[in-house]
Structure 1
Amino acid sequence: MDVLFVFVYPLLALCTVIQCSVYCVQSLKHLKNGNVCIQYFIYLLFFLFYIAPIISQMIFVGYEYEVFWRANDAMKDFVSNIEYLAFVLTFSYFIMKSSKKDVKMQNTCIEINHSITRFGSLVVVFCFILTIALSGIEVLIGGYGYAYINNEVVSLNEGVIGAGIIGYLIVLGNLRFVSRTKIVFLTIIVFCFFWIEGKRAIIAETMILIICVLGITKYISGKKMVQYVVVACAVLLPLCFLYGLLFKENTTSFLDYFNVDFSRQYTLVYQFYCDRIGRDISINPYDGIVYLLTFFVPRILWFEKPYPFVNYLTLSLVGQDFVEFESAGWATTCSIFSDLYDSLSILGLALGIVMFLKMFKKVNNEKRAHYKIMWLYIIVRLLTVQISSAILQITVMLILVFLVDKLFKNYVRIDIPNTGNCRIRVGKSG
């Protein structure tokens, strides 16, 4: 093991964790004071997926990945880990710096289109019916995660479920005007989605998005917002352990599940390491970006179309030669930064940071709740999981929301101060 990694890296990692923890505390304070700038939500998410794994690495020094065994050498490489620290510090700095400007420019009103809310409800119900129609009633009565466990027998369209989740989030953005009966009914359907898909990720992702939606639409704020965040963290982490205990019959896998489900450190560090030693991950340059730009092109028309980058990354991590497959239930998880770095190296990381800053500004300045929620969903997906698994449902929902918004204008404006728990004012939007 590298001497620098043993003696120098822990000190640099500790300094990084301390600085990022300061940013984390600042974000919580801003949320407690009622400043619901999107950067504060995203930074907490960034801390969980990108900084907490550094803490885990410092505590569990001898930990090694079993399935993704090629990551082990990378995680002990000094230069690759330093590159990762530099990346998280840079992104952290720009997230917090941009928040200072955006919070001053943030809109104090939200415009809600009731037609979009009704559309969101219809999407949830339609996606549930379509899932049952496509996969069969056995996915509902066959037990938790029946389609996931029996994927050789049952074909589950996860994109349909993803569209249903987006519809549910749009309804939550108008929670002030939605009846309790309707929201309970739609929530039951969402739990059915959890039951059918059987993956921890969809539960964690939806829980995070619900809190963010309620925050950016200012349904909850102040101390209540911080309480929601704390409760979510208290639920998400034990979720990894309970999932293994109940469904994998494994009581010792908490660290494994955390590092695989929540860590985006090992994938990026592995990519830095491969770049250093000259190991190719993708077959051709720009494969990851080309797939994202041409996902809508049927493979039958372009047989040599690249596959999602996560496919190449997964096979590289397990030391297997490339085989053609669109998706695999055992794949690793990576963020958009992995796609960008594979195609454009360090420039890709820089472009990714700029892209996120632009999207932060878009969310903060956007008045229409449904577009705020769509942009929020895109940001969270880009930051936490491979966008290739959700790009179709996002594109379809964006088009449908745009069309409904243009055809049916039934707006109400809600005036809410940026800070404090003052009364809201509701009025017709012109």
Structure 2
Amino acid sequence: MIDLVKIITIAWGTAWLIAAIKQLSQGTKSTVWFIMIIWYTFFIVPLILDLSLGSPHYGGYKGLRIAANDSNANLIYCLYMCVVPLVFYLFGRAKKVHIEQSSTKPHKLLIAVLQILMISPIVVACFSPHPELYLKYGSIIAEMENFPEAEQFNKIVSLCTLVSVAAVGILLMLRPRLTVFSFVPYLPWLFLAVWLNGKRAVFIMALVLIVYAYYQKGKIKGLKLLGALILSVSLMAGFSNFYQNELRYEQMGITDSDDIYKNVRVDFGRDDRTKMTIYAELHPQTMKILDYRGQSLLFDLTFFVPRSMWPDKPWPYAVYFTSAMFMMPPDYLGFGMTTSWLEEAIANFGWFGMLIGPLFIALLCRIGDSLQSRLLKSLSLLVAGLFLVVHLAAFMPLFLIWFASVFTSAFIRLRARKRVSTVKAQPVDRYITV
């Protein structure tokens, strides 16, 4: 019965994937169609793997294992995944979507700021208490337990790498002309951002933003777009394999195929997190993630308050989820399982979260498109995509930049409309006297 439901969900999700690729190949500018592809990759592909390779054993991740074997959690997950693309489609598309076509060049100050942000990771890394840790890829992650002061400083470096990649994407969008080789001058800075960050998410972000920039400028359509997507997926898979071999399999002694499969599924899938959150809603006496509704959202709203001033300040959702996964009371364990907004919305709002989660992401896309700004379109894609794969605390500065940009753009457009209305309302003399 559950396998049949999964097959129907896969078919439904694949239909939306085909629709997204078709829309994009025809040149539509709606950001939500790109988000549809990201959603399919992290939430529907795991179902395909379940049916073809089987569900992973999850080892010591007791919470994930229990939820993966619960029929009701699997059934509700499939129903949820059927709702998500509908919400994206109904609420994620703006009425008018296009990029402003201005003959004037971008302001030199804006370009200078973006270039500074682009090179910021290498500059900031030089001030690390142990800059030598960045000489080897991923060393800062593998050795951070031995260098706590470098671990704290690395949060700043990681933030700079995210901002650097976003800056490159915006610089590409702002170029008056985009050729096949326009992105080449930015490759050294993208390479440094990926190297210093030490995680795959930055590499994926860079690929997505490059493809998005070329698509929005009308350089890849039809078969070219399909080829770009296939190439991007191939590069992501190759880089992920390199990452796993360099930083995971050797250090953790993983050689068994079952362990490798579990590691890949836990890294890339977001289905197991969502199923576990659903299981916690179904069985609150057995599993409890948050102490109260809105607890992780309270952290997001008060992220700027030092914990020294508020010892009982809530944690990000990933902290609560990781504790629940090990069937432990809520506590910071020194690491956190990567979570997404789609399951965090359920934990914070209950079953209504199944509408609030995808609706929030859809509105991000719609707002970014409706303001018709190159900068906002790039940021909207980046922020909405990140909400699908990580929790807000991991990219809070980028979200604040997006929010400030939206507010500023909306304010400028409102002032411009008022100015036009005032000019039209002024009386015109019918007679001219000499």
Alignment TM class, shorter chain as reference: 0.7 to 0.9
Task: Give the direction of change, closer, same or farther, for the CA distance of 1:47–1:324 in structure 2 (3 Å limit).
Answer: closer
Match in the other structure for 1:9: 2
Query: AA paired with 2:235?
Result: V
Q: 2:273 aligns with which of 264, 267, 270?
A: 267
Give the Cα–Cα distance (whole angstroms) in 1 for the partners of residues 60 and 168 of structure 2. 35
Q: 2:96 aligns with which of 83, 105, 109?
A: 105
Q: 2:67 aligns with which of 61, 71, 74?
A: 74
Match in the other structure for 1:345: 350
Give the Cα–Cα distance (whole angstroms) in 2 for the partners of residues 241 and 273 of structure 1. 31
Give the Cα–Cα distance (whole angstroms) in 2 for the partners of residues 337 and 19 of structure 1. 18
Task: Give the direction of change, closer, same or farther, for the CA distance of 1:320–1:202 in structure 2 (3 Å limit).
Answer: farther
Match in the other structure for 2:120: 126
Give the Cα–Cα distance (whole angstroms) in 2 for the partners of residues 173 and 19 of structure 1. 33
Q: In the alignment, is the contact (CA less than 8 A) between 2:120 and 2:160 conserved in 1?
A: no
Give the Cα–Cα distance (whole angstroms) in 2 for the partners of residues 396 and 36 of structure 1. 22
Q: In the alignment, is the contact (CA less than 8 A) between 1:288 and 1:340 conserved in 2?
A: no
Shift of 1:140: 3.2
Match in the other structure for 1:311: 319
Is 1:48 the equivalent of 2:54?
no
Task: Give the direction of change, closer, same or farther, for the CA distance of 1:92–1:180 in structure 2 (3 Å limit).
Answer: closer
Give the Cα–Cα distance (whole angstroms) in 2 for the partners of residues 54 and 197 of structure 1. 30
Task: Give the direction of change, closer, same or farther, for the CA distance of 1:405–1:30 in structure 2 (3 Å limit).
Answer: closer
1:5-404 alignment runs, 5 A limit: 8-98=1-91, 102=94, 105-107=96-98, 109-110=100-101, 113-115=106-108, 116-141=110-135, 143-152=136-145, 153=147, 154-155=150-151, 156-157=154-155, 158-176=158-176, 183-247=183-247, 248-249=249-250, 250=254, 252=257, 254-278=260-284, 279-324=287-332, 328=335, 331-395=336-400, 399=404
Give the Cα–Cα distance (whole angstroms) in 2 for the partners of residues 396 and 234 of structure 1. 31
Shift of 1:96: 3.3
Query: AA paired with 1:288?
Result: S
SS of residue matched to 1:118: helix
Give the Cα–Cα distance (whole angstroms) in 1 for the partners of residues 180 and 134 of structure 2. 25
Q: In the alignment, is the contact (CA less than 8 A) between 1:121 and 1:186 conserved in 2?
A: no
Q: Percent identity among equivalent residues? A: 17
Shift of 1:173: 1.5
Give unpaired runs (5+ residues) of structure 2: 413-434
Match in the other structure for 2:428: none
Moved more, 28-37 or 249-258: 249-258
Task: Give the direction of change, closer, same or farther, for the CA distance of 1:238–1:256 in structure 2 (3 Å limit).
Answer: farther
Cα deviations by residue, 1:51-101 (Å, 9 ceiling, x for unpaired): 0011111122352112423211111111111111111101112323456x6
Give the Cα–Cα distance (whole angstroms) in 1 for the partners of residues 347 and 177 of structure 2. 45
Give unpaired runs (5+ residues) of structure 1: 1-7, 408-430
Q: In the alignment, is the contact (CA less than 8 A) between 2:119 and 2:189 conserved in 1?
A: yes
SS of residue matched to 1:134: coil
Query: AA paired with 1:137?
Result: P
Give the Cα–Cα distance (whole angstroms) in 1 for the partners of residues 327 and 205 of structure 2. 29
Give the Cα–Cα distance (whole angstroms) in 1 for the partners of residues 409 and 118 of structure 2. 16
Task: Give the direction of change, closer, same or farther, for the CA distance of 1:399–1:15 in structure 2 (3 Å limit).
Answer: closer
Query: AA paired with 2:396?
Result: I
Q: In the alignment, is the contact (CA less than 8 A) between 1:194 and 1:203 conserved in 2?
A: yes
Cα deviations by residue, 1:229-272 (Å, 9 ceiling, x for unpaired): 11112222344333222333345355234312221100010011
Query: AA paired with 1:79?
Result: N
SS of residue matched to 1:321: coil
Q: In the alignment, is the contact (CA less than 8 A) between 2:97 and 2:372 conserved in 1?
A: no
Task: Give the direction of change, closer, same or farther, for the CA distance of 1:292–1:174 in structure 2 (3 Å limit).
Answer: same
Larger radius of gyration: 2
Shift of 1:135: 4.8
SS of residue matched to 2:127: helix
Task: Give the direction of change, closer, same or farther, for the CA distance of 1:89–1:342 in structure 2 (3 Å limit).
Answer: same
Q: In the alignment, is the contact (CA less than 8 A) between 1:124 and 1:163 conserved in 2?
A: yes
Q: In the alignment, is the contact (CA less than 8 A) between 1:23 and 1:96 conserved in 2?
A: no
SS of residue matched to 1:303: coil
SS of residue matched to 2:144: coil
Task: Give the direction of change, closer, same or farther, for the CA distance of 1:349–1:405 in structure 2 (3 Å limit).
Answer: closer
Give the Cα–Cα distance (whole angstroms) in 2 for the partners of residues 117 and 200 of structure 1. 27
Q: In the alignment, is the contact (CA less than 8 A) between 1:53 and 1:263 conserved in 2?
A: yes
Q: In the alignment, is the contact (CA less than 8 A) between 1:169 and 1:213 conserved in 2?
A: yes
Task: Give the direction of change, closer, same or farther, for the CA distance of 1:9–1:126 in structure 2 (3 Å limit).
Answer: same
RMSD in angstroms over aligned alpha carbons? 2.9
Report how many residues are paired.
394
Query: AA paired with 1:130?
Result: V
SS of residue matched to 2:59: coil
Q: In the alignment, is the contact (CA less than 8 A) between 2:296 and 2:315 conserved in 1?
A: yes
Task: Give the direction of change, closer, same or farther, for the CA distance of 1:135–1:265 in structure 2 (3 Å limit).
Answer: farther
TM-score in terms of structure 1 length: 0.83
Shift of 1:322: 2.9
Query: AA paired with 1:113?
Result: P
